[in-house]
Every structure is written in structure tokens, then in C-alpha cells.
A and B are shown apart, each in its own frame.
Chain A
Amino acid sequence: MSPEFALMPEQASSVSAEYDALLFTEIGISVFFGVGICLAIMFLAWRYRAGSEVDRSDPPEGDMRLELLWSGIPLVIALGLFVWSAKLFITMRTAPKNAMELHVIGKQWMWKIQHPGGKREINELHVPVGKDIKLVMSSEDVIHDFFIPAFRVKMDVLPGRYSMLWFKPIREGTYRFFCAEYCGTSHSKMIGRVVVQSPADYASWLSGGGNNEPPEVAGKALFESFRCGTCHREGLTGRGPVLDGLFGKQVRLAGGGMVVADENYLRESILDPGGKIVEGYQKLMPTYRGQIGEEGLMQLIAYLKSIAPDGKQPEEKR
């Protein structure tokens, strides 16, 4: 985060260097074609300026070979760029398994972040260098967007669903993050900084004051206070599916179809239980919309994850 004038952002994540390589390749191609066209136009406009004494016999009306050439070459180049950018995009979108998971909630006009151990911070994001970090994000109101230029990552943060963003910081330091989706009056104040620390410094920062209970512990308390276990259990009184070990599994739905029990499915099942009913069960569960906030939802889901046997992440599909 340097106050002086710069021409390019820092390369501080595992994808920054390849991002810039792709970018500078495209810039190179663009400069070649852009300058080429401009020179051609200037040369032709000068050489064939009205009245100049040059050969103008048989001006061509068109040329099929030329047309094919100048559609074919850009097409091949475009397809090459497409393949490269698609591969990099897939990398940028597919979080490694076992990435450290942080929760981010955006609201007008601040960012609330919670670490795995329960520690919270506002408009600051502390992360250890060299670790894969995955942000599970949601919004309490309008659409926001979490954008870290030095990491070349960005993802919209929507109300009513979770979106994921992952990165691996490779350089210690302080970098800016921004809200990139216009969200109202103080949109431009919805900014903060990412502090990338050595693992030791991060650990000592984590152990500093202001620790809250871990989200899965808070989630267990919620699970009990809402008496979810009354229905979600084995045996005849179990009117809902058992939730132990559910996270990350394929679930067969009533009326056919399969769904992976990921964060978004669990969220939907809490807020809109009638939407996708598990095969063999009735539409009995009431909605918890309005009774449980964004943070509570994330805590409940963290608890459900913690009671899945291997705690494995589902494959990233977004």
C-alpha cells in the first residue's frame, strides 16, 4: 500500500504473477494490432491523398483471401487468449481443499470478518502468509463486492446466498481492499486493509484480546436453543433428516434430483425449508427467516460442518 504514484498494483498473491503475464500478453497483442492499424491508416491516407501521383489503376472491390485472413488470424489469437484466461479463471475460482475458512459479512457500509477461532474484526483482514484462505461471504442488505487489487481477486457478496473467494498471499505487508459493487451513499467508505503476517505473528495476533467463541460453538448453542434436534434425529420421532455427517454429501430430493449439501443448500433449507425436501420426508419444518440473522446462519452451518465425520469440503463448483 504505497502512497506514491505507481503504474501497476503489487503482486501479492499466488495468482498475481500469472494474471499479469496474461495481461501483458494481451497488451502486447493489442499494441501490435492497434499500432499496426494506425500506421496502415496514416500511411494509406498520406500515400493516396487526393491528387497525389500514384498508381490507382484497378482499385479492388474486395478480396476473399484477405477477408479470410483478417478474420482467421484474430480468431485464432482470440481462441488462444480464451483458453488461457479460462484456465486461469478456473484456478482463481476453485478453492483448494482444506483452505482456512473465514466468514465475511458485508452490510451498508462496513465489513465484518470472523476467523476460525472466533476472533472478529471490522474493515481489517489479518491472514497468515503462504496459507490458502477461503472467504465465505454474504450480505445483510444490498449487493457488495470484496476486491483485493494486490491479490487480483474479486467476488460479489450477495444477500440471500453465500459466495466464495479464495487466495494465497505470498508476501507479507498491508494491502487495500475495496467494496467494488455500488451499494449506496457511503460506498466509497466501505474499504479496509488486508494485513498479511508471518504465521507466528498471525498466531500472536489471534491470541490477542477480544476473542469470541468459535463459530461452531456458537452454532451448537443456537442449534440447541432452536431445539433443532427434536426433529432432526434417528428413530420414529425423527421427522427430519439426521444432520450428523451430512455436510458435503449428496442428498436425494423428494420428486427426484440430487443436491450437494453445501453452505448454500443448508442456508436455503433453514430459511426456505419447503423448497428442496429430502426424499422420504414431509414438508413440516417452519421457516426460520427473520428469527436468525446472517451471523447466526454462518454459525449454525459451521456447527453442521463440525459434526460431519471428516469435515471435508465439498468440491467447489462456483
Chain B
Amino acid sequence: MTPAAATDRRHYLNASYTAASWLFTVDHKRIGILYLLSVTFFFLLGGAAAVAFRLELLTPAGDLVTAETYNNLFTVHGVVMVFFFLIPAIPAVLGNFLVPLMIGAKDLAFPKLNLTSWWLFMIGGAITLGAVITGGVDTGWTFYTPYSSTYANTSVSTAIIGVFLTGFASILTGLNFIVTIHTMRAPGMTWFRLPLFIWAHYAASLIMVLGTPVVATVLVLVVLERSLGLGIFNPNLGGDPLLFQHLFWFYSHPAVYIMILPAMGVVTEIIAAFSGRRIFGYKFIAFSSLAIAGLGFLVWGHHMFVSGQSMYAGIIFSFLSFLVAIPSAVKVFNWTATLYKGQVRMLTPMVYAMGFMGLFTIGGLTGLFLAAMALDVHFHDTYFVVAHFHYIMVGGAVMAYLGGIHYWWPKITGKLYHEWWGRISAVVIFLGFNLTFFPQFLLGYLGMPRRYYAYPEEFQVLNVMSSAGASILGIGYLIPLVYLVWSLKYGPDAGPNPWGAKGLEWETYSPPPTLNFDTTPVVECEAYDYAAGEMAPELPGTQGHGSSTSEEAGSSEP
């Protein structure tokens, strides 16, 4: 189909320009955009907090800010990045936009719930930010009791209420995806024809729906103990502080999979598209997502090896934690095998996906160190843990999120960004990330505990390296912000399928019309139905992208 110029065709972006048409929209694509703007704001906010405490950590002494401010900074960074960026980022932005498009539906099953989800998210975010501004929050994102429930003098309850509301935003998104995927697939779209992005979101949605109520409950209990003196966690009131940790991690460990499963889904789509072939081991990738979601609920105790949990419970949790590594490894091997006999194009989304594979592999392997109880005794609550989960959440989830934004940007906006700047940003982020977080593995091994405002001077060299890396990483994140915004006005029109990718979302216009498809698509082939040796079309209007693509396009016919 040849798209008419974006200006004279009606699509979801130009359907109406009023503020109300955005704030009260029930179009999943517009809600995706609302989420995109919101999580970008929260990402910048959480990033700014990180910049501030990385500056503080340049010197061993606490000198730039006070200890209270420092504790507020890392709490804001953690709360905002976990609850207001990482958990919603891929599902609520890309998932919202793409789940209906990919399965050939007009919208999600419950468009109004979807809008409610965004409003809850924003109200929760406003309340939590209000708590941060008025009284501060200094508990860390983990809200450990009895510090949070009795001793902290900051606006803990208010912040928790904000997080609580946001949890419901997440539940509604998960519920919507599950029902949509079950009931609204286009004719012919069988379960095993679904893109693996959908499988990953399905698995993550199960966690959102089953896990989030638990953290919501436990957070309410903290508020009750704080405000009414109900003895739940504080032993002086007859409570048990470990109860909090069990309930908190029962959600918060699976929450890692809410972040990483959709990321894996994004990477799977990108690797298939830019290898120009069907994904290797489709069913293994699909079922490994479900295996991760299921096993993920049984490993929370590995956060508690030195907490006072019984030694025997620790041994079982350790065993299960080793098991959960296997489905993740299976995915990495299958992605790698997909490159074999493909037509690999190293365009921006693929560079991000490659970065994801490298960083996620390091994050996953260092996770095995922490699953090993004996090693965790020393590493627990040190910078080793900080480095490990940043490799998973930033190196993994954020790289995939950015890769996904770049991959679907032409679909979302109808525009192409500058290809070379895209690749540069991916490389700068990859390098800056490693310089920031690799030294933290060494810091942790040397024994530097996390959440330290001041530290002994033998840790300074590695901390300076980490702060230097953070400045590069920060710049790396700003580059896409500039050229993506620039592309909205000056970028060339993308056309419906600039990458030559397969999938229903590429068969409609860019940007798609409000109801997604002119006629309901009928699916007659498997996902990733790339013909062997088929070459993708040249990207229109991009400068200097892979000359090899054009000159060798015809040379690979079987």
C-alpha cells in the first residue's frame, strides 16, 4: 500500500487536536503516547537524582549535600525508576500501542480501564512526588520495616499511597492485556502465530495481576502501623519485621520479570526483523517466558539469605533461583541462533538489541553469584548487588525499551529519525553504562555497602570511575531525546513498513488510523514469515545507512 502524505490522511494523531481528546482518549495508541510522555518525565527525574548522588560520591567524605538529602536522593531515584518508569515503561508504552496492532484488534478489550490506568498512574505519581517535595522520603525504595513503619520521620505514608495507586494502574494494564490476548485475536491468529512480544507481555501481565495486590497489601499494612500503631512489623508492638520482607519480595522479585519479560519480547521482535528470518526455537522462547513468570514467584527468599530466614528455607530458595536462570539462558541461545543464516542489518534498533544481549548476559551471570548463598553472604547489600540489578534493569530493560522505541518510532510517529545518530546513541549508552556499573562489581567485592553517604577512602578510585561513566551515560540518554524530537518535524515520512519487517503492525499505515486497520486482517501464516534470503527495502531518506544493503541486495538469492 502506498501511504498518502501523512497530512491529508486521517490517523490517530491528527484525529483531533483538543486537550480533552488526549486526556480522555480511549484510543490505546494515544494512551500509549500519554504513558510515553509520563514515563519520560519520570525517567528524567529519577536520572537527575542519580546525577546528584553520583556527584556526592565523587569524594569519600559527605560534602556536597547532607546525609538526609543523600538518603532522599537514592530513595527518589529508586521509587521513581522502579514504580514510575521501569514497571510501566515497556508494557504501558509499547505494549499499549502494539498489543492490539500485533494481534489485529481495533483496541484493547477495556479502553476505559486503560484510560483509568493512566489516570491512576498520574495521580499516584503526583502524590508520591508531593511526598518527596513536602517531607521527603528516606526509606529506600524497599521500605524496610520497622524503619519505614516506626522510625522514619519523613512522608513515608504519603509516598506509599502514591505507589499503591500506581500499583492499580499496573494491575489494570495487565488485566487488559490478558483479556485482549485471549479474546480479540484476528481470524487465523492462533496462539502459536502470535508474535513473541505478545507471549512476553502475556507472561508479564500474569505477574502484574497476581503479584501487585500483594505489594499493595503490604504497603497498606506499613501505613496502618505508622498511623494507627497496629503491631504488624515492629517487634515492640508484637510484630515481625521479616514478615514485611517476605511479602515485599513476593511481589518485588517477580516485578523484575515485569520489567525484563517485555524487554525480552521487544528484543525478540528486533532480532527477527533485522536478521530477516523466522525466530529460532519459537516455542522455547514462548514457553520460557511462562517458565520465568512461574518460577519467578518462588524465588523471593534469595533476597533474605542473611536476614534471619531459616537456613533450610534459604537452601530451597537458592536451588529455585539457580533453576530460573535456565529459561533466560535458553532465550539468549535462541536469539543468537536466529542470526545464523540470516540477513543481519545493524540498524539502530539492532544495535540496541545487541547491547541488550551483552549487558543482560552479564547481569544474568552475576545473578548466579547472588543465587549462590555462600557468595551472597558477602555480596548482599553491597555495590555488587547494585551493579547486578542495574545490568538487568538498565542494561536489560532500558536498552530494550530504547531499542523498541527506535524500532516502532516510524510506526508511532510516521517519521524516520537520523540513522547515524541512532547508532551513536546506542554505542555511547553501552559504553557509559559499562563504565558506570562495572566498577561497582569490584566495589561490592571489596565490601562497600550500598546506600552509603560517605565511604572509606580506599573505595574512591572506583567511585570516581563510576561517576565519570554516569556522566557519559547521561549524555547518551539525552542524544535520542534530541534527534527523536527533531525527527517529528524534519524526519522523512516512514511509510507503513520501513524495515521490511513482518507482523500485522507493519501492514497498516504509519501512523495507524484510529481503528488501526481499514479491514480486519486475516492471518494465514506463521509469525516472522520471512522468505529465506529476502532482502528488505532500502530505507527512504536516511543518510549513509549500510551501503552494503543496497549494493548487495540482489546477490543473496538462494
Contact = CB atoms under 8 A, between A and B. Distances in A.
A193 B149 CA distance: 31
Given A44-B340, A62-B283, A184-B151, A78 B361 contact: no
A51 B62 contact: no
Interface stretch (A52-60, A213-221, A277-285): A52-60
A149 B384 CA distance: 13
A59 B343 CA distance: 11
A256 to B, nearest CB: 21
Interface stretch (A33-41, A112-120, A123-131, A228-236): A33-41
B449 A179 contact: yes
Contact of A50 (B138, B235, B311, B345): B345
A180 B548 CA distance: 54
Interface string B296-312: 00000000011110110
B336 A40 contact: yes
B322 interface: yes
Interface stretch (B85-93, B248-256, B325-333): B325-333
A85 B374 contact: yes
A65 B358 CA distance: 25
Nearest to A185: B67
A33 B276 CA distance: 26
A149 B446 contact: yes
Given A48-B341, A79-B322, A30 B374 contact: no
Contacts of B378: 19, 149, 152-154
A160 interface: yes
Nearest to B235: A160
Given A51-B553, A59-B277, A78-B326, A178 B447 contact: yes
Interface in B501-558: 532-533, 535-536, 546, 548-549, 551-553, 555-556, 558
Contacts, number: 290
Interface in A300-318: 317-318
Contacts of A272: 238
B344 A186 contact: no
Interface in A53-98: 53, 55-63, 66-67, 70-71, 74-75, 78-79, 81-82, 84-86, 88-90, 92-93
Nearest to A55: B341
Interface string B134-145: 000011100010
Contact of A183 (B147, B238, B311, B354): B147
Interface residues of B, number: 105
B478 interface: no
A149 B449 CA distance: 10
A61 B282 contact: yes
B365 interface: yes
Interface in B307-327: 307-308, 310-311, 314-315, 318-319, 322-323, 325-326
Contact of A142 (B151, B283, B447, B546): B151
A298 interface: no
B315 A89 contact: yes
A313 to B, nearest CB: 16
A5 B241 contact: no
Contacts of A150: 447
B284 interface: yes
Contact of A78 (B283, B368, B454): B368
B449 A67 contact: no
Contacts of B308: 155-156, 158, 161, 163, 318
Interface string A165-182: 000000000001011111
B380 interface: yes
Interface in B271-308: 275-278, 280-284, 305-308
Contact of B548 (A51, A58, A61): A51
A44 B138 contact: no
B115 interface: no
Interface string B230-242: 0000111010111
Interface in A141-159: 141-143, 145, 147, 149-150, 152-156, 158-159
Interface string B62-101: 1000011001000000000000000000000000000000
Contact of B552 (A2, A52, A184): A52
* Most B CB within 10 A of own CB, among A26, A149, A156: A156
Given A85-B372, A90-B311, A159-B241, A181 B325 contact: no
A189 B552 contact: no
A173 B209 CA distance: 53
B556 A53 contact: yes
B147 A2 contact: no
A227 interface: no
Output the residue of B340, B380, B447 with the most chain A CB within 10 A.
B447
B354 A89 contact: no
Contacts of A58: 341, 532
A186 B67 contact: yes
B146 A159 contact: yes
A89 B446 contact: no
A74 B324 CA distance: 11
A158 B242 CA distance: 9
B306 A160 contact: no
B526 to A, nearest CB: 9
Interface residues of A, number: 91
A22 interface: yes
B498 to A, nearest CB: 15
Contacts of B334: 67
Interface stretch (B17-25, B188-196, B417-425, B456-464): B456-464
Interface in A7-43: 7-9, 19, 22-23, 26, 30, 33-34, 37-38, 40-41
B555 A59 contact: no
A153 B345 CA distance: 49
A152 to B, nearest CB: 5
Contacts of B343: 48-51, 56
Given A38-B358, A143-B144, A189-B454, A156 B306 contact: yes
B39 to A, nearest CB: 26
A195 to B, nearest CB: 16
Contacts of B55: none
B532 A57 contact: yes
Contacts of A40: 336
B361 A317 contact: no
A30 B365 contact: yes
Given A82-B319, A86-B315, A145-B306, A153 B326 contact: no
A30 B368 contact: yes
| From A66, A78, A145, residue with most partner B Cβ within 10 Å | A78
A200 interface: no
A93 B336 CA distance: 41
A204 B364 CA distance: 50
A86 B458 contact: no
A23 B369 contact: yes
Contacts of A159: 146, 234-236, 241
Contacts of A180: 380-382, 449
Contacts of A181: 144, 381
A224 interface: no
Contacts of A41: 336, 339, 354, 357-358
A34 B361 contact: yes
A155 B371 CA distance: 17
Given A66-B337, A153-B377, A184-B138, 17 more contacts: A9-B447, A44-B339, A49-B548, A51-B556, A74-B325, A89-B314, A89-B318, A141-B146, A149-B446, A149-B447, A158-B235, A160-B235, A181-B381, A182-B147, A187-B453, A188-B449, A317-B311
11 contacts: A44-B340, A48-B339, A48-B344, A51-B552, A55-B341, A58-B532, A59-B532, A62-B284, A82-B322, A142-B151, A145-B381
The 5 closest A-B pairs by CB, nearest first: A160-B235, A51-B552, A149-B447, A85-B372, A88-B374
